[in-house]
Every structure is written in C-alpha cells, then in structure tokens.
Structure 1
Amino acid sequence: MSTRTLTPGRILRLSILSFGALIFLAPYIFMISTAGKEQSEIFSSSLSLIPQQWSYVQNFTKALTRVSMTRLLLNGVIVCGLIFLLQVLIAIPCAYAMAKLKFRAARAMMVLVMLGLLVPIHATALPIYVAFDRMALLNSYFALVAPFTISVFGIFLFLQFFRAMPDDLIHAARLDGMSELGIIGRVIVPNAWPAITAFAIFSVVAHWNDLYWPLIVVSNQAYATPPLGLLYFRAAEAGDDYGALMAATLIITFPLVAAFLAAQKRFVEGITMTGLKG
C-alpha cells in the first residue's frame, strides 16, 4: 500500500500540483506577509515573508478605521446577492425552455446566447451609462445591479445541465398536473443545486471583484463596492501605507475565500456534472 502511494508517477503528479498551488497562492501569501509589516520594512532591500516586527494589529486597525469597511462589505453582499438572485430567476426558466420545450425559436435563441457570450460589458458600458444618467439612476443599487440581471453564461451553464435531465421525469410531472412553472420550482431547481452552486461562485466572484462598472456609475462612497472602496482607501486615505492597504485587501477577499471553501464540494460537482452531461 505504501509502495503504491510512493510511486515515481504519483510523486511527480503531487509535485506538479503542489508547484501549481504555490503559484496560485503566492499573491495571497504576499498579502498576508505585507499586512504584518511596517512601512520601512516593506520598502527595505531584503525580501522576507516573515515580518521582523509584527504590525498586524496596527495595520488592521488602520484598515478598519480609515474606511467604512462594514459599509463596503454590506454593499458587496447586497449588490452580489441581488445580481445572483435575478440572474438565477431569469436564467433557469430560459434554460429550461430551450432544453426541454419544443418551439421554433429554440435554435435562434441558442445562437443569440452564444453570441451574447462574446459581448463584453465594455462594449455596452457607454450607452447604458448615458441612459442611467438621463434617468438620474446613477449612484444607486439599481445602476450597479440592472446591467447584469441577464447572464448569458448562466443560461448556457444551466442549459447544458438541464439537457442531461431525464425527459421522463418531466413527463411524469406533467401527468401529475404540474404547470411548467411548477415543474421548474418543484422538479428542476431541487435537482439543479450543483449547477446553481457552481454558477453562484462564478457570479459572486466576478461581481465582488468588479471595479470597472462601479467606477463608472458610482461617485458616492455610500454605494461603493469593495474594490471601489479599496481604491478610495488607497488614493484618498492610505496614501503609500501599503501595510494597511494589504490588510484592507485581506478583509475584502476573505469572504470570497470562505464562501469558496464552504461550497467547494458542490462547486466541483456542479462543474463536473455540467461538463460530462452536456
């Protein structure tokens, strides 16, 4: 058993995976290290991951007092939560209709979904901004949420997942007298939690880290999302205090890391099932 575990091939695979994990974790390790250093040590000629004089308390205190971190995190939760909820409410019925219902426009809708995956937010940012400005909707949660309520990626992801669901299950629900909305709510959604969890990770991470759109539509710090608030922190308050800046960055990224670790099993399951059954 131990001989099989220590085979050269297995050691090589573990070494490659460990090296890859170290590369991906390197920025986070650097943030943790810098968040505990004084300003003079950060700009010293010697590079050391372990701080010579631990300043975590001072740096985290600056991060929490110089910027309303609670407000930033609350805004991030509100914006990401509303976006994800609306995306799921729209994407699941659309994907179900395209996967399980027979109608002439199904192929055309599929083409539109694929084309929608090619259009970045940058291409539509200017006309959306002008429209929101004329309707006096800037500096609001509506301006942060509305452009992302329809997710073509979400529709495509759920479409691939729903295509693998047995048609007999849906036919049986129809024979029991369920409406199409009833089938979605009582049959489709309970069986689609792996895909929903996987999409939740993609959606929340993308919009929690989004700086481009909030930077355009928000000038009032009361509606600032975490990345935008971090920008205010860096430019207006912290200056060159990178220790406090890294501490603030750790506070902002921690919810994402915790959420991913909590939903890791469901996330992997959702991606695997969607890929295999598509």
Structure 2
Amino acid sequence: MREQSRLTPGRVLRLALLILGAIIFLAPYIFMISTAGKAQDDIFTAALSLIPQQFRYLENFSKALAKVDMGRLLWNGVLVCALIFFFQVIVAIPCAYAMAKLRFRAARTMMALVMLGLLVPIHATALPLYVGFDKLSLLNSYTALVAPFTISVFAIFLFLQFFRAMPDDLINAARLDGMSELGIISRVIVPNAWPAVTAFAIFSVVAHWNDLYWPLIVISKPQYATPPLGLMNFRAAEAGDDYGALMAATIIITIPLVAAYLFAQKRFVEGITMTGLKG
C-alpha cells in the first residue's frame, strides 16, 4: 500500500497535467464569477484583478433579474430542451435497435446516411427551415425551436454503439417468450439503455441550452426567448454593455447545467464508457 501511494515522477506529471487542464477549463468560470461582482469602472482597468475592488454582486444580480424575466427564460430553456430530448430519444432508440440487432438489406445504407448526417451542420439547413416555418406561420413558437432537432443522428450513432454491446441471447430469449419487436424495445432495451440515455442527455441539453444561432433566427418575441437569447438584452450600443449584470445573468443560466451534470456525472461516465465497447 505504501509503494502504491508514493509519488513517482510519472504520477506527478499526470497530476500536474490534470491540474493545468482543470485551471484552463475553469478559467472562464472564475473570470465570470469575478466580473459579476465588479462595477463597470472596475472592469475596464489596465490591471487585471480577480478580486473586485468594490463588491457589487447584489447590485449586478438585482440588475440581471430586473432586466429580463429570468424565470421565463429558464422555463423556456427547460421546456425546449426537455421536448427536444424526448423526441430525440423516441426516434433514436428504435432506429439504433433496428440497425444494431435486426438484419435487413438497407442496414449499410442507413449506417452511411447516419455518418453523412453527422457531417451536416445546422447552418447548412437553416435557410430552408426558416422559409418553411415562415410559410407555415410557425415562427415565434416552441414548434420552431423544437422541430428541427427532433431527429438526432448523433443519438442514433451513440445508441447504436451501445446496443451492439448488448448480448444477442437476451434479445433472442425475449423473442422466444413471444415479445414483439416493440415490446423488446420497451421492456428489454430501454431499461438497459439508461447509461447511454443519460450520457446523451448531457450532450443534448448542453448543446440546446447554449444554442443562440437558431433561436436568434426564428424568435423575435420575448415570451419565447431561450436563456442565451435573453442575454442579448444586456447589449446596448449607445450606453455600452453592462458586463457586470451580464456575467451575473450568465451565472444564473449556467447553474442548472452544472447541477444537472453533477447529478448525472456517474451515469454519464458509465454511458460514455459502455458506448465504446464492441459487441
């Protein structure tokens, strides 16, 4: 036990690299928390100091809550992310199961289409989608925010890798018991797929919670604004951006993501590990 606890040069190097990586990743959050407590004059100074000269946390957080309807922004973010995630999972699990466990001629073609779908960014389809929603009078609605993302090729790919690692004997035993394919999905696949579902949930929620590009295109009414879009209210061309209040608002909308990740951290790591296994 004592030999294992010794700090060898290799272990010291690994710890140093991990600490350096943690500092790099945490630096934006440290700067954000520091700026949220500074006055405007304290932010624009030649000397960079993480400790505010005058603690203005209460004032900046009060401005953030007064400037925008933070409750509405958070509710819109939760609703949009939850709907997107729900429909993504409903579509992706049967597709991934069929590609992983069923034998049919179009399996290779579907796999190629999934891989090609991973290469297509939302920016390439934004214009035709916008025109389509405009023709259907669906701009400024939750439908416009949710519908383009209900099918996720990344989710299909992730679940496909997970389902391939599941033993075929489990599926065959369910078929011998008289289960239909939908019954196998609902009673066998889904209960065993929670690690992969949790891992994908983190990816999906973070991506769509932080998305500014698409809401900026289809939403112009405040009642449908998502958290990143609501932060645009802190921009002022004439008076200048209120960075203290902006950073305070950013902290508020970041807290749910941090809390969700900490809550699901164990299953997230488990899901990422298991999706890398080969069946």
Above 0.5 in TM-score? yes
Residue 34 of structure 2 corresponds to residue 33 of structure 1:
yes
Preserved contact between residue 234 and residue 245 of structure 2 (Cα < 8 Å): no
Quote how far apart the aligned CAs of 1:4 are: 3.7
SS in 2 for 1:96: helix
Deviations 1:205-243 (Å, cap 9, x if unpaired)? 000011110000001111000101111233489842211
Deviations 1:38-64 (Å, cap 9, x if unpaired)? 111111222111112211111101101
For the residues of structure 2 that align with 1:277 and 1:257, how far apart are their CA atoms?
31
TM-score of the aligned structures, taking structure 1 as reference length = 0.97
What does residue 231 of structure 2 align with?
230
Deviations 1:68-88 (Å, cap 9, x if unpaired)? 011001000000000000000
Return 5+ residue gaps in structure 2 as ranges: none
Preserved contact between residue 61 and residue 248 of structure 2 (Cα < 8 Å): yes
For the residues of structure 1 that align with 2:68 and 2:55, how far apart are their CA atoms?
22
User: Letter of the aligned partner of 1:191 in structure 2?
Assistant: N
TM-score of the aligned structures, taking structure 2 as reference length = 0.96
- Aligned residues, how many? 278
For the residues of structure 1 that align with 2:37 and 2:57, how far apart are their CA atoms?
4
Preserved contact between residue 165 and residue 277 of structure 2 (Cα < 8 Å): no
Q: 147-156 or 2-11: which moved more?
A: 2-11
SS in 1 for 2:276: helix
What does residue 10 of structure 1 align with?
11
Q: 2-11 or 99-108: which moved more?
A: 2-11
For the residues of structure 2 that align with 1:235 and 1:241, how far apart are their CA atoms?
8
Task: Quickly say closer, same or farther: Cα 1:92–1:244, change in 2 above 3 A.
Answer: same
Preserved contact between residue 202 and residue 268 of structure 2 (Cα < 8 Å): yes
User: Letter of the aligned partner of 2:64 in structure 1?
Assistant: A
SS in 2 for 1:74: helix
Residue 158 of structure 2 corresponds to residue 157 of structure 1:
yes
Matches within 5 A, 1:1-278: 1-2=1-2, 4-5=4-5, 6-235=7-236, 239-277=240-278
For the residues of structure 2 that align with 1:193 and 1:238, how far apart are their CA atoms?
49
For the residues of structure 2 that align with 1:235 and 1:112, how far apart are their CA atoms?
44
For the residues of structure 2 that align with 1:59 and 1:190, how far apart are their CA atoms?
45
For the residues of structure 2 that align with 1:204 and 1:149, how far apart are their CA atoms?
13
Task: Quickly say closer, same or farther: Cα 1:236–1:220, change in 2 above 3 A.
Answer: farther
For the residues of structure 1 that align with 2:266 and 2:4, how far apart are their CA atoms?
27
Quote how far apart the aligned CAs of 1:275 are: 1.1
SS in 1 for 2:275: helix
SS in 2 for 1:44: coil
For the residues of structure 1 that align with 2:60 and 2:238, how far apart are their CA atoms?
13
Quote how far apart the aligned CAs of 1:179 are: 1.1
User: Letter of the aligned partner of 1:277 in structure 2?
Assistant: K
Q: What percent identity do the matched residue pairs reach?
A: 80
SS in 2 for 1:277: coil
SS in 2 for 1:263: helix
For the residues of structure 1 that align with 2:196 and 2:64, how far apart are their CA atoms?
36
Return 5+ residue gaps in structure 1 as ranges: none
